[in-house]
Amino acid sequence: MNSETTNGVNEVRLLRINEVAELTTLSKSCIHLWVAQGRFPAPLTLSPTVKVWRQSQLLSWVEIKTQESKAISECLAAKPLEVKQ
């Protein structure tokens, strides 16, 4: 998704952990764990106690995960699982 623009100037919206959790529907602890595992975008550290995420980066991550999920669903639908008895 594109950044919001005002008067032709790109604005980057920075989100704190509570907003990231709301946007992604992930818990804060899950976000921290996935960042540590490299499965989620890393935050920008503004100070030792302030970390923020770029909204545009998170929206791109959500889009990628959505496309991956659709691809997996299509693959499973195309090839039904065999049931062994």
Report how far residue 26's alpha carbon sits from residue 14's, in angstroms, rounded to the nearest whole number.
17
Of 3-17, 29-43, 60-74, where does mean pLDDT reach its minimum?
Answer: 3-17
Of residues 28 and 83, which shows the higher confidence score?
A: 28
Look at residue 12 in the predicted model and tell me its pLDDT: 86
| Torsion (CA) 80, 81, 84, 85 in degrees, nearest 10 | -60
- Which pLDDT band holds residue 59 (cuts at 50, 70, 90)? very high
**pLDDT tens digits, 2-34:** 445 555 445 689 999 999 999 999 999 999 999
Predicted model pTM: 0.73
For the chain, the 3-state helix, strand and coil shares in percent, each to the nearest 5, are: 50, 20, 35
